[in-house]
Structures are given as C-alpha cells and as structure tokens.
Amino acid sequence: MAAADWQDRYYDIDQILDTPGPRTDPAFLAGDGVKDFLRNQAKILVIGAGGLGCEILANLALTGFKDIHVIDMDTIDISNLNRQFLFRQKDVGQPKATVAAEFIMKRVPGCKVTPYFGKIQDKDDDYYMQFNLVICGLDSVEARRWMSATLVNLVDPENPESLKPLIDGGTEGFKGQARVILPTITSCYECSLDMLNKQTVFPICTIANTPRLPEHCIEWASVLEWPRVHGDKPKDTDDPEHIGWLYTVAAARAKEFNIEGVTWALTQGVVKNIIPAIASTNAIIAASCCNEAFKIATSSAAYLNNYFMLIGTDGVYSYTFEHEKRDDCPVCGGEALDLSISAELTVEEFIDLLIERQDIQIKKPSLSTPTAQIYFQSPPQLEEATRPNLKKKVKELVPQDGEVTVTSTSLPFSLSLRISYT
Amino acid sequence: MATSEAMDMTAAEVAPDSKTRRYDRQLRLWAASGQSALENSRLLVISASATSTSVLKNLVLPGIGHFTILDPATVTPRDAGNNFFLEGQSSIGKSRAGEAVRLLAELNEGVEGKADTSSLEQILDNNPGYFASFTLVIAHNLEPKLLERLSTLLWADDTLPILVAVNSAGFLGEFHIQFHEHTIIDSHSETAPSLRIDKAFPALADYAASLDFKNMDPTDHTHVPYVIILVRALADWKAAHDGKPPQTTAEKKQFKEGVLAMKVKIDEENFDEAEAQAYRCWTETRVPSEITALFQDPQLSNLSPTSPPFFHLLDALRKFTLQPPHTLPLTSTLPDMKANTTSYIHLQKLYKTRAEEEKATFKSLLTVPIDDATVDTFVKNAHGLKVLRGKKYGSLNTDPAALASAVESSPKATAIHLAISALATVSPPQTTVEALTAAAQALLPPGFELPEEFSDAVGEVFVLVILVSRVTMLRTFLSARSPTADLPNSAAFLGGLVAQEVIKMITKQYVPIDGYCVVDLVETWTGMV
C-alpha cells in the first residue's frame, strides 16, 4: 500500500476489483494484481483541462489512477467558472493545466498529476508512447483529428504496447458523446468525420451586399471591417475592447439595414463560435470516458463498443452503437479515397470541392501527384511556382485513376485520392 | 437570446457584468429567465454521499439559490476515499454534511449552503413541516422505509417540493422524479413553427399578388423570398383549380415545375429554394395534435381565477384556435432565405405586424391579467407547450400489470429497475441471488417471467451485496440497509444526469424525464421504464 493510502480508501472500488461480475471478461484477474497495475503502474494522459478535463482528472484520481499527465494550451477565463470546478476567481489568467494539476494533488493525496501548458503538437511519438491510455476532452475538431491520427500512426504491429486506446468525449449544451477508439482496430476519429454538424458559413456576398440577419452584420464587422480599419493588427476575441468595437460596428450596420437583434452576447457568440456548455453534461460525458478508462485498465467489466451518444433536451435519450471503421478512411483505412469529378474541373475548383467535403474537412490543401507538384499553399516561392496550375483542368495533370496526395498544415496525415472522370 | 428584443440598439451596450460573463455559456441555453428560476430555488439533499455531492456540484456551479445537506453521519475512511467533496484523511471523523457543504460552497460565492446533522427519521416523526421551504428534495440510496415515508409525505400536497429519488449500486443506477404536474412553456422544441404559406394572412397574400414577376427588375427577381414566390404560385394555382391546392402526385410535380418555370435566369437560387419548400403549399397548417390534446386537460374544464396562469393561457389558446384560420398564433420568427436586405426585411415586417395583431387577439381572450413578457413567450413557443403529470415514487412497483408491460416493451431497462427494487426489499443477511430473484418475481403478475437480462442485472448488484453485507454485519455503525458501492464514475454519471433533470424542473425549460431513468455503465447505455 502506498504511503498516502489509508485503510478502506478504495473500499467501494475494491468491491469491483475483488470479484468478477456476470458480464466480466473471463480473463479478468480479480485482486491485488489489478489494483497494483491501476495504482502503481498505469500512466494515463488527459488532453484538455477545461470543461471535460476538470471532471476527467477528478474521476481518474478518485478511481485510483496515480500517474496522470495533462496537456492544455489555454488560460482560465471567467466564463469557465460555471463548470470548470477546479478553478476559482483568483485563478483567472493562470494556465488551466497547472492549476488543475495542483488542485487534484491537493484534494486527492498521493495522486501525481503532471501538467503541460502547451500544444499537443509540441510532443513527439516517444512522449505519447509512455502512456497506457489517452483521454481527450477537447472542443476542437482539429486537435482531435491530430491526436487520433497520431495514435493510429504510433501502432506498430510487432509491438502490442504501441496500441494506445483513445477515449474521446465531447459536449454541446445538453448533448454529448463518448467513444472508445482502439487505433487501427476500431473506427477512428477520422472515420466519423461526416457525423459532425456542418458549421454555418455565411457567404461573403451576403455579408457584403445583402445582410438579413444580425449574424450577417457581425460577420461583416469581423471579417471585412476589422482588417480594413485595423490593417494587420490581429483581432483578439478574448479582448472585451475588440468585442466592443465589433459590436458597435455591427450594431451600426444593423441599424442602417433595419435589422434587429445585434447584441453584445450574440456578437461574442458569433466571432468566438461559442458553444453552450454546462457542468452537468460535462459530468455525464467525462464520467463515461473515465468509466471506460477504468474498465479498460482493469478488465473489470466489458468496455463500450464503441460510441455512446446522449441527448438530454427532451427527457434522457441515449444511443449506444458500434461505429463502423471506414475502409477508405484516410487515417486508418489504408485505401485511397475514390473521387469522381468532372473532366472540366479546374484545379482551383477542385480545391474548393475538397474544402466543401464533409468527410474530408480540410483547410488550405496542397496537392501533388506521385511525380509532380500540382499546387502548394506554402512556402511563398512554391505557391508562386505552382499558382499557374490553378487555372488548368485537373485532367491535364492527373490521369484517369491517378493518385493525388493532399496535405495541409491542419492535418497530421496526408490524404490519398484516386481520381476518375465523369 | 431572450435579451435581444429588449435591447435598444441605438444605445451603446456596455460590456456584460462579471456575473453575466461567468454564466455566459449557460445563459445561451436557458436565458435570464431560467437563471433567475435557478437563483430562487432552494434544494434539500439527503445524505452527502459521493453521488449526492456530484449532483450538487452540477447545481452549485450554475448558481442555485440555496442548498441544505441533511446528513447526521461523520466521514468514514471509505467516504474520504470516494468523494471529491471531502478532503481525504483530514475529513475523517468530521461531520459529512459539514465538510461537503464547506467544499461545495467554495464553487460559487453566490450560492448559500447549509449543513444539517439532524436525522431524517426524527424530522419525519416530529417536524414534517421541515420540507415546505424547499423547491426540490434529492435523496440518494435512502433506506427504503424512509424513502417511502418521505415520498408519501411529499406526495400528499402538491405545494410540497418535488422529490428526486436516486438509487445506485456499482455500475447500475436509476432515478425517478416525483411531481404532480409540470407545465412547460419553452420546451426548446426543435420543430419550427408554421410559416402559414398555405393560409397566407391578408397582408402577405396582397403583397405576393401585387408583384409583377414578368416585368420585374432582374436583380429584384433573383431576390424575391421563396415564401412570397410560393404564396403567389399557390394563389395562381388555386385560381385555376377551383380553389384547391395541388393534391395528386402529378399535380404536385406540375406545381413544382411551374415554380421553376418562373425563373428568368437559370441560376436563381430563390426559385430553387421555393421548389424545395413547395410541400408547404399542400401541407395544411393546423393546430399540432400534441397541442389539441392539451385542450382536453382537466385543468381547463375546471378553470377558475385561481388556476395556474399556464392554464389560463392554454384556455385562451384553445379559444384562439376555434377562430379561423384555426391555427396557432403566428410567430414572427422567420428563417433565413435567399433574398436581399430590402425584400427580407419587408417580409419580416409583414410577419411581425401580423404576429402582433394575432397576439392582441390572443390577449383579448385571456380572462385574468398576465404580464406581457409571459404572454410573449407563450405565444412564441405555443407549438412546443407541454403538460406532464407525474406519478408517486414507487407506484410502478405496486402495479404488477404496468411492470409486466414495461418488461415487454423495454426488458433491459426494466431488468435493472427490478434488480435495484429487489435490493431495496431484501435485508442484508438474507441477500442471495435466489432471494433477490424471488423479490423481483413478487413484483410481477403471478406466472409472468422475469426478463432474460435480469440475471445479469441482479448479478451485477449481487456481487456487491454479498461483500457489503458481510462487512455490514461487522460494522454495526453502518445503517441497517446494506450500503451499495458508490463508484466515483457512476456517481459522477448519475450526478450529471440528475442535475440536468433538476435544472429542467426548476427552469421549466426543456423536457424532463417521465418515469424511471436507468443506467448501465457496464455496456454504457441509459433507458427509460
């Protein structure tokens, strides 16, 4: 027993770990071995110390994980305090990872939490290799894609230790989901990209010429007026003065066009793309993630296969199902994605098409064939050199059934497409 | 945003105050009205178990007004290990309610917390009036006899608080909300109210008729909103078809082709939109059946000046729908559509003016004074109104026929409910799989078989019971009922679900559960019984 443990500390949990249940894997070895693994050997990584992250850290610590690492690049904002319960007013402005780690270590003696205040992309494969499990509590699609792809790439068939289960949670208002990903074995984050709600994008011509909604006026202030008036000065959506400026400009435009409904809260919501968030939904989803982590780490019960979706707006509705792996998943499928396009399509139009695709979701893609560069977004010299290709037809550069490799700084992998023409 | 309409755009709005900033992410869900309901609520939580403090955490954070934890126990080493709102070993031996209140209250300075170390049994015996000052009572793993007494007491009078009973054992759990009547004006329905294209109000019909599509400026033609296109196309169609809308598949197809034929350029997206929305022309706008059903509510036949305002509003709505065009009052919410600013704003104005007129008619049908803000919200959300009638806690278990039909319609969920119910009726020394099975069987009609899933569910509970009961006998200081494992993850999961339902009950927004919500965290699913 570790020094900080006291008699009966894990009384409730040990009831589970000392006896198999009716649905427990026969391989489960009840007793001291599993407790020792959980409490003295398991090393777990938590991505995000926000709404889900705070809950995840507390649950993991109470269930007996004692070596927890946490990564978060954000600092604490006052709007976090309605749900991120490890933070107080005095902590506003401090790094989330550090404050959360200190709180857990103080509240749950003997639990070691190692914070990293920075980006997941700062860490290399060796870093991720040290963990038994990764739990993601993120609000960014891009970070999740990166993490999922990184763990898929980490898998070495010769080395079973290289397979790191990834548990991913997400919430929005009264809704949320939790899922278990066994990289290369079950459906990965990329496989399910088309399940995401399509983000509302307001066409520039509407914003510039025919605004109808308060959102159009806010986008005008943010996308067109800010750069026109402030030049290169970056817009900081966390700066109340900047929001105030956008609000005033948007409100003036709304007045000019007789549009009602521009408010401070709406302005902030649109420019920061705010997603409503409450403690209770985060608690449900984080508990679900940690429960899966506990079951996987201890084999004390079967784990989720593989997707749990919760809708709490009308009663409590949930749906548990197996999300299928996609054979043409660019991350874990190993096959090229077949794409049939018009023979008349130009490279420029092709790029727009890729950006539009819900199952690809790419920003600023660069394209090449196995033998030639088609178009590169950067560096500037290469962009300039390949720019003339934008006006060419894809067919002039890629043969029927030819392969196109798509890369982007927002993607931790390259996407292979097989092109056919209609 | 609820505040947007009240906001005068000419006045420079100042940055939100620190309270609004703190609650920003939740105000976007339940607005200032929901927040104020939360801030006026007073909660009583019975026991400071891990599950209880998890529920409370999710209610203190969003800012309920007051909570009392009723718990005479002192912190055991076991409590200190599984409850985040106790401070490890340093809390052992101290009042469990006191420690939990201290650490929960830290989460939000705006919330008042109180620890009460009295015993529930004594309060039930000597001071039954104790509960009247609370909005809602939450009880976790309460001894069955006390829970029965408490639920009977609170059920006796509909002015007494709502009771949320939570039971859990290891990976399994369930909860039930006991209430008499729950009315919801703003259910945040995801169905949009009708635009009434098929029953165009006069100003809309006149405007659509006045447009000269053929000689219109081409730019304007591209910006006629689809609503106007359809109103016009439908009027023209009806004029040529004895006043009838398109009815057969062939006619509907012909109508759609007619809409597309109105294009002067191939790329006029507003006409494409009109074609896609053409079904609105032959889908008659009527009062939704869910709303018509509410007009049969007994509260309406017995309406008196002292009836709750909701039912006076509902009665005015009923009277409103008796008048032509036999629809709900028009709402001014217009979805975005292809249009330029002028044409869209003009259309919006037509809808707004008409909505105001209909609201005035609606108000004239009210027989008691009700404030304008409530009338506004009611009219705006009339298509999503709800009236729920709850049941007394435990009534399902005294109705074998209802239980049997639950087994048939949702066997997995009912199996868990039966296992948890059986656990409550069997006393520790006699707790065996056989005893639990017999107890569950006794709840069902004679000869009715337990669901196949029952053995899994009872096994999940049973392994805990055996271990726990053995220890219980050794430790006489524990309560008479066998305690059940309060796992941190199960506690957190239930804590989230229960808090979410409590928020819906208090704010009277969104729709709470009706029945028992059961949870299985082995296979990770929830269900309803």
pLDDT digits (tens, 9 = 90+) for A305-319: 999 999 999 999 999
Question: Would you say residue B339 lies in a domain?
Answer: no
Q: Would you call B10 and A255 a contact, using CB atoms and an 8 Å cutoff?
A: yes
Residue where a domain terminates, one of B224, B255, B282: B282
* Nearest CB neighbour to A62, from listed B22, B84, B512: B84
Shortest distance between the Cα of A60 and any Cα of chain B, in A, equals 8
- Using the beta-carbon criterion (under 8 Å), do A290 and B489 form an inter-chain contact? yes
Distance from CA of B250 to the nearest CA of A (A): 32
Q: Contact A279/B62, CB-based, under 8 Å?
A: yes
Between strands A402-407 and A415-421, the pairing is antiparallel
Interface test with A, best of B334, B386, B524, B528 (most A CBs within 10 A): B524
ipTM over the 0.90 cut-off: yes
Q: Of B130, B161, B124, B170, whose CA–CA distance to B143 is shortest?
A: B124
The per-residue DSSP string of A249-291 comes to HHHHHHHHTT-----HHHHHHHHHT-----HHHHHHHHHHHHH
End-to-end, the C-alpha distance of chain A in Å comes to: 69
Output the pTM of the full model. 0.92
What does the CA dihedral B54, A28, A304, A411 come to, rounded to 10 degrees? 100
Closest approach of chain A CAs to the CA of B437, in angstroms?
Answer: 15
Nearest-neighbour CA in chain B from A385: distance (Å) = 35
* Window 71-90 of A, Cβ < 8 Å to B: 78-79, 81-83, 85, 88-89
Q: Do the beta carbons of residue A105 and residue A117 sit within 8 Å?
A: no
Residue B459 is assigned to a structural domain of this protein? yes
**B494 → chain A, closest CA residue:** A284
Q: What is the pLDDT of residue B482?
A: 33
Residue A198 CA to residue A18 CA, distance in Å, equals 47
Q: How far is residue B494's CA from residue B56's CA, in Å, rounded to a whole number?
A: 11
Contact: A254, B9; criterion CB under 8 Å: yes
Does residue B30 lie within any of the structural domains?
no
The answer to whether A344 touches A350, Cβ cutoff 8 Å, is: no
Name the closest residue on chain A to residue B496, using Cα atoms. Answer: A280
**Domain tally, chain B:** 2
Amino acid identity at A78: I
Mutate to test the interface with A, among B3, B20, B25 (most CBs of A within 10 A): B25
At A180, the pLDDT band (50, 70, 90 cuts) reads very high
* C-alpha count within 13 angstroms, C-beta hemisphere, residue A351: 21
B341 inside domain? no
Last-in-domain residue among B481, B507, B523 = B481
| Domain residue limits at B278 | 202-282
Q: Which of A16, A89, A257 sits opposite B487 (nearest CB)?
A: A16
Which chain A residue has its CA at the smallest distance from B55's CA?
A280
What's the average model confidence in pLDDT over A287-293? 97
Residues of A forming the active site: 205
A197 touches chain B (CB under 8 A): no
pLDDT of residue A412: 74
Contact B522 A58 (CB under 8 A): no
Q: Which two tokens stand for residue B212?
A: 């000269």
pLDDT tens-place string over residues A220-271: 999 999 999 999 899 999 888 999 999 999 999 999 999 999 999 999 999 9
Min Cα separation A280/chain B (Å): 4
What is the interface size between A and B, counted as CB pairs within 8 Å? Answer: 285
Q: 3-class SS at B192?
A: coil
CB of A209 within 8 Å of a chain B CB? The answer is yes
**How far is B258 from chain A, CA to nearest CA, in Å?**
27
Minimum CA–CA partner of A284 in chain B: B493
B373 part of a folded domain: no
In a domain, B265, yes or no: yes
Closest CA to B314 of B285, B353, B333, B287: B287
Residue B484 pLDDT: 62
Residues with Cβ within 8 Å of A74's Cβ and at least 6 positions away in sequence, in order, are A49, A50, A95, A96
Q: Is B435 helix (H, G, I), strand (E, B) or coil?
A: helix
**Token pair recorded at residue B420:** 């948890």
Cβ contact, residue pair B459, A21, below 8 Å: yes
User: B-contacting residues of A 319-338, CB under 8 Å?
Assistant: 320
Flag if A11 and B15 touch (Cβ within 8 Å).
no
Residue of A85, A210, A276 with shortest CB distance to B61: A85
Tell me phi and psi for residue A321, to 5 degrees: -150, 170
Chain B residues touching residue A92 (CB < 8 angstroms):
none
Q: If we measure between CA atoms, which residue out of B435, B437, B436, B440 comes closest to residue B403?
A: B440
3-state helix, strand, coil in chain A (%, to 5): 40, 20, 40
B179: in domain: no
- Is the Cβ pair A9, B81 closer than 8 Å? yes
Distance between CA atoms of residues A303 and A290, nearest Å? 11
The chain A residue lying nearest B460, using CA atoms, is A21
Smallest Cβ distance to B82: which of A62, A254, A314?
A62
B461/chain A closest Cα distance in angstroms: 9
Closest Cβ–Cβ partner in A7, A174, A310 for B77: A7
Q: Please indicate whether, in this complex, the C-beta atoms of B489 and A287 are within 8 angstroms of each other.
A: yes
Chain B residues whose beta carbon lies within 8 Å of the beta carbon of residue A315: 511-514, 517, 528
Of B7, B61, B490, the CB nearest to A263: B7
The full length of chain A comes to: 422
Distance CA A366, CA A373 (A): 9
Distance CA A309, CA B526 (A): 10
Last residue of a domain, one of B222, B255, B282: B282
Q: Which of B18, B493, B525 sits opposite A320 (nearest CB)?
A: B525
Q: How far is B105 from chain A (nearest CA, A)?
A: 11
Q: What is the pLDDT of residue B418?
A: 87
Task: Note whether A183 and A154 are within 8 A (CB).
Answer: yes
Q: What is the DSSP string of A374-388?
A: EE---SHHHHHHHGG
**Length of chain B in terms of residues written:** 529
Tell me the pLDDT of chain B (529 aa) as tens digits.
333 443 444 345 678 899 999 999 999 999 999 999 999 999 999 999 999 999 999 999 999 999 999 999 999 999 999 999 999 999 999 999 999 999 999 999 999 999 999 999 999 999 999 999 999 999 999 999 999 999 999 999 999 999 999 999 888 899 999 999 999 999 999 999 999 999 999 999 999 999 999 999 999 999 999 999 999 999 999 999 999 999 999 999 999 999 999 999 999 999 999 999 999 999 999 999 999 999 999 999 999 999 999 999 999 999 999 999 999 999 988 999 999 999 999 999 999 999 999 999 999 999 999 999 999 999 999 999 999 999 999 999 999 999 999 988 988 889 889 888 888 877 666 666 677 778 888 888 888 888 777 777 776 665 444 333 333 322 222 222 234 678 999 999 999 999 999 999 999 999 999 999 999 998 899 999 9
Set of chain A residues whose Cβ sits within 8 Å of the Cβ of B88: 107-109
Return the residue in A25, A59, A209, A212 with the most chain B beta carbons within 10 A, the one to mutate for interface testing: A212
3-class secondary-structure state, position B112 = strand
Cis peptide before A109 (omega within 30 of 0): no
Closest CA to B233 of B203, B277, B285: B277
Which residue from B13, B490, B523 is facing A320, i.e. has the nearest CB? B523
- Chain B contact for A13 (CB, 8 A cutoff): yes
The yes-or-no verdict on residue A421 having pLDDT over 90 is: yes
| Cα nearest neighbour of B219 on chain A | A210
The answer to whether position B524 is within a domain reads: no
Binary contact (A288, B13; C-beta < 8 A): no
pLDDT of residue A134: 98
Phi-psi region of A64 (alpha: psi -120 to 50; beta: other; left: phi over 0): left
Interchain contact, A274 vs B25, CB within 8 Å: yes
Q: Indicate the pairing of strand B42-46 with strand A175-181.
A: unpaired
Question: Residue B156 to residues B130, B159, B442: CA-CA distances in angstroms?
Answer: 14, 9, 27
- The order of strands in the sheet holding A67-72 is A112-117, A67-72, A44-47, A133-137, A166-172, A175-181, A307-311, A317-321
